[in-house]
Structure 1
Amino acid sequence: MGDEVLHLLRCVGKGDVFPVLIDLPSAIEIGLVSFGVADWTVRIFFDVGAFDYVDRAISPNGQAIEFGERPENSPDNALQLESSSLYAAMVNAFESATQQQL
């Protein structure tokens, strides 16, 4: 399922899908923020208001996968190693989604 999340993050970076904040804006201050992305729910850890890592993803059929604090197999880490520009675009999309909702 990690490969599916990596594919989803690539799509966000390419602008094919857009994250939508589904938590209250105050969640950004707490750190763990959930977004709807296509039919998935992706929870991101924000550190001082900035994207840090993908913490969890829930597939459309309800399967959840926990990534925790940037393990080597995390999809965002894999994307960063694969393409720094695509990673930067993906991070920007998630951070922009938080700003649009404030």
Structure 2
Amino acid sequence: AGLSPDQRKAFRQALAEARRQSAADIEAARAGREAVARLIEAEPIDAAAVNETLASVRQADMALRGRLEQAIVTFATGLSPADRARLVDGLRGRSNMLRRAGEK
């Protein structure tokens, strides 16, 4: 919230671009979660298949997270130290990247 309107717009655009680049991973994770639900409901449950599918969902989630975090880092490199501090304040509690950062 402490960034200028232009900076906020640029930040949102950077995150949106990272999501666009991750469209296949987002879809793979969504489809994988649906598959996990079906596998858990199946009788008998195939725990190995559930775990294998969960691993692929995690991989897709981490690929997306990596792109989002890289977009944040790239955006931050163009900010002044004061603006980076405001960015960090805004990310605390909203981003996995900085969740619980600064807590004691």
TM-score relative to the length of structure 1? 0.30
Larger Rg: 2
Q: Which has the higher contact order (CA 8 A, sep 6+)?
A: 2
Comparing both structures, which one devotes a greater share of its residues to helix?
2
